[in-house]
Chain A
C-alpha cells in the first residue's frame, strides 16, 4: 500500500531532475547571450548597417562600443523570408491538402517520401541546389532571390507535413456534414476544412519560418551577404545569421556576435511562443 506513493514521488523527482538537466544548457546560453550582448543593443543596433573592420577596431582600441548595427542583416532576413514565404506557403499548403486528400495513393506516397527526404537533407545541400538553380542560371550571381529559394525549399516539407497532419485532425463527420448539404468537394476544402484547421495551419507556417530564419549555411552560397541594405532580389543580400558568421570571422567584431545572436534567439523564441499560443487545442 505504501510502496506506490513512494515510487510515485521517486519518479516525480527523477522527472524534475532530468528536465532541469535538459533545460540547463538552454538557460546558460541565454544567460551568456544577455550578459555579453545587452551592451551593444541600442537604437543604432537596429538603424545602422554593420560597421567596417576599421571602425570596429578603432572603437575597440578606444574602449568604446562598436558603432553601427545589423540593419542590413535584419532587412535581408525580412526580404528573403518574405519571398521564401510567398513561394513556400501556397505550394506547401496545396501539396499538404493534396496528400491529405489522396492519402494511401501511390503518387501521394511518392510525394510524401520526397518531402521527407527534403526535410532530412542538410541545409548546405539545399543551399547547393539554390546555387545551381538560381545563382548560376537565373540571377547569374549571388542574389537575395537565390537565398529566398533555398529558404523556401527548406520551408516546404515542414509546411507540407504540418498541413497534412492538421487536416487529419478534423473528424470525418465534419466533412460529411458538408457533403450531406450537397456542397461540392472543393468548396468543402476551401470553406470548411481550411477555416476549421486555420490555427493549425498558421502554427505550421510559423514553425517553418522560425526554423529557417536562423539558417546560415544555405545563405552563404546563395545570398552571400552584403554590407548594404538591399531590396533588389537580383543582388546579394545580408541576413542576421550571415552577419553573425561574419562577426565571428573578424576578431574586431566579436562583441557584435553576442548582441546579434541574442536578437536572433529572442526573435525565434517569440515566434515559437506565438505559434504555441495559437496552436489548436485538442478537446
Chain B
C-alpha cells in the first residue's frame, strides 16, 4: 500500500501509524501514515464514514475530550510530538474550522475574532487587539462587510460570512496549520467559491488540511489528496496525478462516482 504514498520533504506534519477507535477493536482510522506538505492544501477525500473527520480531529487532539476514544501512533508537528505539547500551545499552532459555522452566539464579531486570546486570558493592548481583528477579517475578505458592525453580534451574517468569521477566528491566533472539516458543505455555491478563493490565497502563509466530500472542490484547490476507505489510507498523491491517473482501483472507482 505504501507504494501509493508520496514522499514529502521537510513535512510540517508527520502522521505515523495513527489508529483511532471509538469502540474497542474497531478502528475508525487504521494505521495511517502520511506527511503533510507545508504551505499547501491537502484534501482528505473518501466516502462517508471512512474516517476523514476522525483523522483530521486527531491532528489537534480533539479526541481527548471523549474518554472512550483511543488513539495510537504518533503525530509530529515541526518534528515535535504533539502529545508532548500543551493543549493551548498545540491549538495555537493548529487551528480548526468546522462543517457548520459556529461563531460564539453571545459574542460580538470583534470578540469572536479575538476570542482565542480573550478566553485563554492572553492580555494585549487594545491597539494590538484592533490590529489582529482587522488583519484577520481582511484575510478572510470580511472586513469591508462588517467593519461598521464589529460590535454587533454575528447572527445577522449569512452562513458564508459566518464561516469566514470562523476562519478569521482561527487565523487570529496565527497558527501554522488550519484544519477544515467540510467547511463549505453547508454553504451555497457563491459562498463556497469565495471560501475556496480564500483558502488558495491563505496557503501562502498557512498549511491547510481540508476534509471534503466534494471531488470537484478537491480537484480545484488542493495540491495533494488523500483518499481513504473504511479507515485505511488507500492512496496519497499529488491531486493532479491522482485525479488523472489513480493507482488504486478503489480510488478510481470513487473518483468516477462508482461509490461514495
Contact = CB atoms under 8 A, between A and B. Distances in A.
B106 A181 contact: no
Nearest to A178: B119
Nearest to A174: B102
A52 B107 CA distance: 56
Contacts of A196: 104-106
User: Size band of the A side of the interface?
Assistant: 10 to 19
A252 to B, nearest CB: 55
Interface centre among B65, B104, B118, B166 (most CB of A within 10 A): B104
Interface in A105-136: none
A178 B121 CA distance: 13
Given A173-B100, A191-B119, A192-B119, A180 B95 contact: yes
A192 B104 contact: yes
A228 to B, nearest CB: 45
A177 B91 contact: no
A195 B96 CA distance: 22
Contacts, number: 70
Nearest to A193: B106
Interface residues of B, number: 30
A183 interface: yes
A198 interface: yes
B91 A181 contact: yes
Contact of A174 (B60, B105, B173): B105
Nearest to A172: B102
Contacts of B102: 171, 173-174, 176-177
Nearest to B90: A182
Contacts of B104: 174, 177-178, 192, 196
B31 to A, nearest CB: 26
B206 to A, nearest CB: 15
Contacts of B98: 173, 176-177, 180
B166 A187 contact: no
Given A173-B100, A177-B98, A192-B119, A182 B106 contact: no
Nearest to B103: A177
A191 B105 CA distance: 11
A103 to B, nearest CB: 13
A182 B88 CA distance: 4
B216 interface: no
A187 B119 contact: yes
B166 A181 contact: no
B69 interface: no
Contact of A181 (B99, B105, B107, B169): B169
Interface in B136-175: 166, 169-170, 173
Contacts of B116: 181-183
7 nearest A-B pairs in the assembled complex, by CB-CB distance = A182-B91, A182-B88, A195-B106, A180-B96, A181-B116, A173-B102, A183-B119
